[in-house]
Amino acid sequence: MQQLWSGPNADVLAAVDELYQDDVNYYGKKTTKAGVLKEKRAFAQRFPQREYKPKDPVLVSCRDETCTVHGEVDFRAIDPIAHVLSTGVATFDYEFVVVGAKLKIQMENGHVVTRTRQTLSPNAAR
């Protein structure tokens, strides 16, 4: 997921559509897949340049048809319109369920641990 979010928007948004269940517990709130995708699209458009690097260890545990994943990620994202570079560390939590032959996200959560925002010159944000 972190590697996917580091890619170009066209690739990310096409792939994300396939990852979620129809109903998702998204950051503590029950929502639809369409609601999650709307938020993901808005974020990707605001920060089209993103880099996410998971830190070791990434913890994975599975039971029956469900797997949970927890870890931390170093992030770097640029908002080219506001000319802002945002860097920091965030946690991520996912709960995947087996649906047919695929894994689908039924829960996503996390929070920003640290964040630094830096104003960039207009040319640097491109």
pLDDT tens digit sequence for 26-74? 999 999 999 999 999 999 999 999 999 999 999 999 999 999 999 999 9
Given a cut of 60, is residue 125 above it in pLDDT? no
pTM for the full model? 0.89
Q: Which domains does the chain have, with CATH numbers?
A: 2-119 (3.10.450.50)
Amino acid (1-letter code) at residue 105: I
In this structure, the strands spanning 102-109 and 20-26 are parallel
SS3 letters across the chain: CHHHHCCCHHHHHHHHCCCEEEEEEECCEEEEHHHHHHHHHHHHHHCCEEEEEECCCCEEEEECCEEEEEEEEEEEEEECCCCEEEEEEEEEEEEEEEECCEEEEEEEECCEEEEEEEECCCCCCC
Helices 33-46 and 9-16: crossing angle in degrees, nearest 10, is 170
